[in-house]
Amino acid sequence: MLDLRFSDAELDQRRDHILAFIQDRVDAAGADGAVLGLSGGIDSTLTAFLAVEALGAEHVHGLVLPATVSSEGNMSDAERVAQDLEISYDVIEIEPLVDSLLEVYPGAEGDREAVGNARARVRGVMNYLVANHENRLVLGTGNRSEAAVGYFTKYGDGAVDCHPIGTLYKGQVRQLARHVGVPEELAAKTATAELWADQTDEDELGLSYEVLDSILATHIDGPLSVGATCRLLEVDVETVERVRTLYEQSEHKRHVPPAPDPLE
Ligand X SMILES: Nc1ncnc2c1ncn2[C@@H]1O[C@H](COP(=O)(O)OP(=O)(O)OP(=O)(O)O)[C@@H](O)[C@H]1O
Ligand Y SMILES: Nc1ncnc2c1ncn2[C@@H]1O[C@H](COP(=O)(O)OP(=O)(O)OC[C@H]2O[C@@H]([n+]3cccc(C(=O)O)c3)[C@H](O)[C@@H]2O)[C@@H](O)[C@H]1O
Are the beta carbons of 137 and 25 closer than 8 angstroms? Answer: yes
Is 150 a binding residue for ligand Y by CB under 6 A? The answer is yes
What is the Cα–Cα distance from 28 to 124, expressed in whole angstroms? 22
**Is 154 within any annotated ligand binding site?**
yes
**260: exposed, middle or buried (C-beta count within 10 Å: 0-12, 13-18, 19+)?**
exposed
Type of residue found at 159: A
Are the beta carbons of 37 and 65 closer than 8 angstroms? Answer: yes
100 to 129, contacts with ligand X by CB under 6 A? Answer: 123
- Residue 136 binding target from Mg ion, ligand Y, ligand X, none, CB below 5 to 8 Å by type: none
**Is 62 within any annotated ligand binding site?**
no
One-character DSSP codes across 87-150: -EEEE---HHHHHHHHHH-GGGTT-HHHHHHHHHHHHHHHHHHHHHHHT-EEBP---HHHHHHT
Type of residue found at 82: A
- Residue 44 binding target from Mg ion, ligand Y, ligand X, none, CB below 5 to 8 Å by type: ligand X
**Is 189 within any annotated ligand binding site?**
no
Q: Alpha helices, DSSP H only, in the chain? A: 8-29, 42-55, 72-85, 95-104, 112-134, 144-149, 170-179, 184-187, 201-205, 209-215, 226-233, 237-249
Question: What is the contact mask toward ligand X in residues 15 to 54, using x (rule: CB under 6 A)?
Answer: ---------------------xxxx-xxxx----------
Among 175, 192, 214, 218, binds ligand X (CB under 6 A): 192
- Residue 65 binding target from Mg ion, ligand X, ligand Y, none, CB below 5 to 8 Å by type: ligand X
**Is 40 within any annotated ligand binding site?**
yes
Question: What is the contact mask toward ligand X in residues 145 to 174, using x (rule: CB under 6 A)?
Answer: -x----------x-----------------
194 to 213, contacts with ligand X by CB under 6 A? Answer: 194, 201
**Is 192 within any annotated ligand binding site?**
yes
Among 146, 182, 220, 239, binds ligand Y (CB under 6 A): 146
According to DSSP, residue 76 is labeled H
Among 58, 203, 204, 248, binds ligand Y (CB under 6 A): 204
Q: Which residues are annotated as a binding site for Mg(2+)?
A: 43, 146
- What is the binding site for ligand X (CB under 6 A)? 36-39, 41-44, 63-66, 70, 123, 141, 146, 157, 191-194, 201
